[in-house]
Structure 1
């Protein structure tokens, strides 16, 4: 009886203790600064709260006793803590470490709720500003290409790089700036990404269909470029000055950034300028027509309150960029310049003088691109749910000057106005299911101004899509997926082009004009898309993960694919579209394995991508197989549509021996094959039509890096690295009508050193990066370099055809914080 009474007494006291309510107040810091939006979860109770803008969190009505907390957050290594909770008030300070492994980093893009990379079944890569600074880059996309396996770029000189993901590019890769989709006439070969590379703190790449979140144009993936946001909670002004010089084309860059924090408000401002003359290589010498001059301005204001936050920002991009056409003297192979409109003979132009090849002045024949952006991104918190609203307007103004006798007359002059909207509501968790509903889209209007060439009509576009996304964790298994429905309307009225009697050039005219011809008959069509995805991540252990995902993507044809009928002066191509095209749909399967081992990180990703109604362009030939020439000196391409299949793999092996913590050996491999499944073409032309255009070859990147583990005098953890970029022969190309030709493989050796310079008190004076690309000055042509095909002679004295890529290039970069 005594034993029974003692047992009941013990049970009563235990229940009383458990029933006592306690309160836990905590502070989350990283690098001595408060961190917001960190998840603090009591594992036994499945109770979760988030840290606020000051890094504070409160857990109320929790039981007394031993509890285990799990702390996770974007950009920080997760950790678990055992806490002994006493009755009453408890206080806890938690310090987090930033995520150091690229494989275990965390991302925002490509999913509807912030999630860690290890939980996302979609292949995603993250590139930090520090990594980008340690490479030689002339634009932001070039930096991403060097840092993310599976990402390549079609280039037109050093200042134009269009991203490709796993062999797909143009309007199939959606680029975002701070979550706002980038709209800037991106259909053209020579239309680059209009973003300030010095103002980006982080780039995130989704590899695979992301139509579920973004609708049309994310068929191949998404690149989100995230600008700098001050994380300091201390009031006051901070900033940095970046100076950059590159030897090959004399590029000089300067950027000044300011950040001001005042209580709940954070302000940023940045101004950037870059200028360069023509670049150089050992085959062509100075490549005429590749100089550029670029200016950028950006500013933002953000307020953080208990109800959420609101950020308003504006950017301005201004770029003057020359237009190479590849015309040369047939014997000396020196570049020539166009001086006539009527009577111009591309093979009998005057030779460019040597003094003009290294001048920074922009030639009269050039492009002038301006991009304005204004947007607001806000989050409103409602207990365990939140509403995210993104509204933005942007304008892209593009002028291409191609008339040497009237240099002020633009050949192409188009103005694109876009209004974007994106609303996402993250619902409260129900039985552990995290779900999101949303609607997003855009209204777009494109108008031609006082131009002479009209490759596309004036058009209006309206886009809307709604989606549902959900994810749930079952122990070691994370499952996520969703569905989406889209509608896009594009329409234009009859568009007439006539002749200006004063100049003899073309001009837009009204219907009924005596000189007018109907170049673009009126058009109106709705495109519908149903897309979705389903994926899982299985944590076999803390160090070994398995991922699988299947996704259906959708892309409506862009304006040039359905509406083009004329010369694009900057591309030197006459494009012919097809208004009967259907939307593209793809079904992609991804399988991946990630291992975080003691001595290395390992990632293997396999993908298979089947596309219906794939759109591509091919050179147009006549019945005798001769190229069709509509505008002398310019190629003619016509868009085609067929089935296609792409498959391949990416492998990453990063070795970091524990016995030599100062050493790292990083390696990656990317391989993709693109098959054209147009049965009629294959039956008629065989192997010449077997492959898709613009498919990168097998490429391997390997880097050996040594980093000091402590300061050496004023140098804080200096590093030295040497790396190689190895590209195999590309013999799997679209050879029909000589649209593409064989590209020989090559290996580029690069090296760099760098360090932070700090005072004895620990204050950073500056960060220095000295690098050299293509140390041995190898002459090479990338198969994705459009200048490779800028050739007007069947034979040449040196046996070389087209323009080669940049030769040896030293880069000196210094960042001065204050």
Structure 2
């Protein structure tokens, strides 16, 4: 596979809410987020509504405000580093003032809302075992491809073809028994051939949910073993512009990687754009030295624009995944045991470090 091109321009992903409203009204959720023990405001605390893909951050006095929301009942997640998260269902109808008090906690909670189902729900209320990796965990477990970052999850393994191609296996089942979803779009290129991996930039992933067990009612008959739900182009909190830079270097194969993104939301309009590249030469092991033709190169970008209002939200997503990689064949010279390289005309020669 010299080039894997994924161009997701699936029109407008229009999610128009229909929550028993005959007329569209503008609703607002406002309030404060404070420390339960000291009553001090928690500046920077996050409040997020997964169903609407909209949220906000608390200001210096702990106050927050999310406007132009459709009426209905929604699960709301309130979180802050060093505090236990709160999850509450709120009935939006008009202007709702809701204050939240967070308890201090030295234990880091696992992500507790699941979005890869028909409606966002809490893990405790999910009938299926679910593991969630957030951005900080994904960065700390950086690997050569996005699937290899998941092998630390119990019940999840990967079958690899070289360092750049991996396929997810959930409880021993893989290929066309595991569905991979990126921002709501199913991946259809990796189920069959051994040399076709997941065409998703691992640097861009903001959150990954692994649903273990049958999920065919939601994702179709392929989801016999489970689902890997990857979220990349998430909107920023209201009235916030975020800039992210990430660099990566790995010593074995001299992997060099760089990722940058910018996202913002203002008056209902949201955008998110990223670009990245990753390049590595042949990796090295103690038996063969450098393994011939295990080098690879990725060059990726993606963007999202959208608008959310009292009627719902609409997002347009575009991503490009361009990968050039070598496939390790393992052919060796019978006399020396060295890797061999094919030449035009059917000839062969001993591979060198420079090949």
Select the residue among 284, 287, 292 that pairs with 1:283: 287
Select the residue among 117, 121, 130 that pairs with 2:127: 121
Q: Give 1:511-526 correspondences, 5 Å limit.
A: none
| 1:100 aligned residue | 108
Select the residue among 230, 241, 244 that pairs with 1:240: 244
| 1:389 aligned residue | none
| 1:294 aligned residue | 298
* Distance in structure 1 (CA, Å) of the matches to 2:319 and 2:267: 24
RMSD over aligned CA atoms reads 3.3
Please tell me whether residue 171 in structure 1 is matched to residue 176 in structure 2.
Answer: yes
* Distance in structure 2 (CA, Å) of the matches to 1:90 and 1:323: 57
Please tell me whether residue 320 in structure 1 is matched to residue 324 in structure 2.
Answer: yes
Q: Is the 8 A contact 1:27 1:57 kept in 2?
A: no
| 2:44 aligned residue | 32
CA apart distance, 1:36? 4.3
Report the 3-state secondary structure (helix = DSSP H, G, I; strand = E; otherwise coil) of the residue aligned with 1:337: strand
* Distance in structure 2 (CA, Å) of the matches to 1:131 and 1:338: 41
TM-score (ref. length: structure 1): 0.34
CA apart distance, 1:351? 0.6
Larger radius of gyration: 1
CA apart distance, 1:52? 8.0
* Distance in structure 2 (CA, Å) of the matches to 1:355 and 1:36: 51
Deviation string 1:24-83 (CA, Å, 9 cap, x unpaired) is 9742657535634389xxxxxxxxxxx98743699xxxxxxxxxxxx9534752368xxx
* Distance in structure 1 (CA, Å) of the matches to 2:302 and 2:198: 16
Relative distance call for 1:182 and 1:74 in structure 2 (3 A) is: farther
| 2:137 aligned residue | 131
Please tell me whether residue 350 in structure 1 is matched to residue 355 in structure 2.
Answer: no
* Distance in structure 2 (CA, Å) of the matches to 1:25 and 1:177: 29
| 1:641 aligned residue | none
Report the 3-state secondary structure (helix = DSSP H, G, I; strand = E; otherwise coil) of the residue aligned with 1:350: strand
Q: Is the 8 A contact 1:27 1:92 kept in 2?
A: yes
Deviation string 1:279-317 (CA, Å, 9 cap, x unpaired) is 000011100011011110100012111111111110001
Please tell me whether residue 206 in structure 1 is matched to residue 206 in structure 2.
Answer: no
| 1:306 aligned residue | 310
Report the 3-state secondary structure (helix = DSSP H, G, I; strand = E; otherwise coil) of the residue aligned with 1:355: coil
Select the residue among 218, 221, 228 that pairs with 2:226: 221
Q: Is the 8 A contact 1:36 1:55 kept in 2?
A: no
Relative distance call for 1:134 and 1:325 in structure 2 (3 A) is: same
Q: Is the 8 A contact 2:29 2:66 kept in 1?
A: no
TM-score (ref. length: structure 2): 0.75
Structure 1: which 5+ runs fail to align?
1-23, 40-50, 59-70, 81-88, 357-818
Q: Between Structure 1 and Structure 2, how many residues are aligned? A: 297
Report the 3-state secondary structure (helix = DSSP H, G, I; strand = E; otherwise coil) of the residue aligned with 1:319: strand
* Distance in structure 2 (CA, Å) of the matches to 1:73 and 1:90: 13
Relative distance call for 1:260 and 1:112 in structure 2 (3 A) is: closer
Q: Is the 8 A contact 1:232 1:261 kept in 2?
A: yes
Q: Is the 8 A contact 2:190 2:197 kept in 1?
A: no
Relative distance call for 1:329 and 1:75 in structure 2 (3 A) is: farther
Relative distance call for 1:259 and 1:325 in structure 2 (3 A) is: same
* Distance in structure 2 (CA, Å) of the matches to 1:276 and 1:52: 38
Relative distance call for 1:78 and 1:201 in structure 2 (3 A) is: same
* Distance in structure 2 (CA, Å) of the matches to 1:202 and 1:129: 6
Relative distance call for 1:327 and 1:228 in structure 2 (3 A) is: same
Relative distance call for 1:90 and 1:296 in structure 2 (3 A) is: closer
Q: Is the 8 A contact 1:74 1:114 kept in 2?
A: no
* Distance in structure 2 (CA, Å) of the matches to 1:187 and 1:312: 29
Q: Is the 8 A contact 1:248 1:279 kept in 2?
A: yes
Deviating 4+ runs (over 6 angstroms) = none
